[in-house]
Amino acid sequence: MAAVAVTVAAFGAATWLCGALILATAIHDDATRWGLACGAGSAVAALAGMGGYGYATGGRQTATAAAESVTASGERSVAIGGNSHGTIITGDGTTIAAPAGPGPAPTGPPAAPQPPPGGTAATGNRAVAIGGDNRGTVSTGDGDGGNAGATP
């Protein structure tokens, strides 16, 4: 309600200032002067309305962003909850060497961790998870030093 009141007040004040004070000495025709004043008042009211919209919805946007979970738990992993427009490089251009020494024999593929509901998760080493659209280059660095893991 406050945003509406500020928008109406901004329109009224800007229209009166232009019509009664600023344009009064330059334009003597009342219809032209008040028409221009209403246009200026409308422009000021539009700016006030945009500010009021941002004020009124600011709390909801923050709550929505906080509700989405973004997790990057692996070494050099990246998780982006929204859109990605830049370059993401998680590696150094060399391949990952197998650990030295004997180890336990694998018994099967490990279960892949599931992302949280409504969220984005990158759980493996050098993993990349993007919750929105990707417009950039993504490279995990695993390969010959080029963009072996890149997706356009």
Whether the Cβ atoms of residue 105 and residue 116 lie closer than 8 Å to each other: no
User: Nearest to residue 137, comparing CAs of 85, 95, 91, 71?
Assistant: 85
Nearest by Cα to 33 from 12, 11, 15, 13: 15
What is the distance of C-alpha 72 from the center of its chain?
Answer: 18
The whole-model pTM stands at 0.40
Residue type at position 103: G
Note down pLDDT in tens along the chain; length 152 residues.
888 899 999 999 999 999 999 999 999 999 999 999 999 999 999 999 888 887 777 655 444 444 467 777 777 777 777 777 778 777 766 544 444 545 555 454 444 455 555 566 777 777 787 777 788 888 777 655 444 444 54
121 HSE (CA, 13 A, CB side): 13
